[in-house]
Homo-oligomer: A and B are copies of this chain.
């Protein structure tokens, strides 16, 4: 990647970091609804235009600020036993969606995507949740010899808790063990 001939002052990496850091902080302090581009810039000690220069809206900043954390929180080590791994993953997923800051950011983005096409495109460009489940799901599929595609299996695994949490049910009512059972049952038969 060449990036032209590199004329002009180069982008300030410290400004970039300050913005992402400010978003992380503000998300916790004031919540997504009260997160403003103005507030982010001021908190980061950065000009407003600098934020707009590199991210076109607050969804993009939030995405970049949160996506790495999300991947980290949803990464589960494979034990070799598919049933166990699925349950461990489900626990991580539920914790992410209900208790994690990065998860709150992710839910906010999903929310925004429902009425902002730009955010929808941004979100669709990288299926964070789906990616996180891939390893676990592939292992389970391989072990079971199911005919389900990876995509189908992923939706089957993530969908039920995703639906209950985003539509406002009490997260405590979700039983990861039972969900894991149901998931394995679908896979276990041709």
Chain A residues with a Cβ under 8 A of chain B: 31-33, 104, 107-108, 110-116, 120-121, 123-124, 127, 129-130, 148, 151-152, 155-156, 158-164, 166-169, 173, 175, 178, 182, 185-186, 189
Copies of this subunit: 4
Which residues of chain B come closer than 8 Å to A130, judged between CB atoms?
Answer: 167
In angstroms, Cα B169 to Cα A121, docked, is 10
Can you spell out 8 A-B residue pairs with CB atoms less than 8 angstroms apart?
A: A31-B115, A110-B114, A110-B167, A111-B115, A114-B166, A120-B168, A124-B169, A156-B182
- The answer to whether A114 and B108 touch across the interface, beta carbons within 8 angstroms, is yes
In angstroms, Cα B170 to Cα A127, docked, is 12
* Chain B min CB distance to A65 (Å): 15
- The answer to whether A173 and B159 touch across the interface, beta carbons within 8 angstroms, is no
- The answer to whether A164 and B155 touch across the interface, beta carbons within 8 angstroms, is yes
| CB closest chain-B residue, reference A162 | B163
Which residues of chain B come closer than 8 Å to A111, judged between CB atoms?
Answer: 110-115
Which residues of chain B come closer than 8 Å to A186, judged between CB atoms?
Answer: 182, 185-186
Residue in B120, B129, B189 whose beta carbon sits within 8 Å of that of A185 in the complex: B189
| CB closest chain-B residue, reference A158 | B163
* Chain B min CB distance to A175 (Å): 8
In angstroms, Cα B182 to Cα A173, docked, is 23
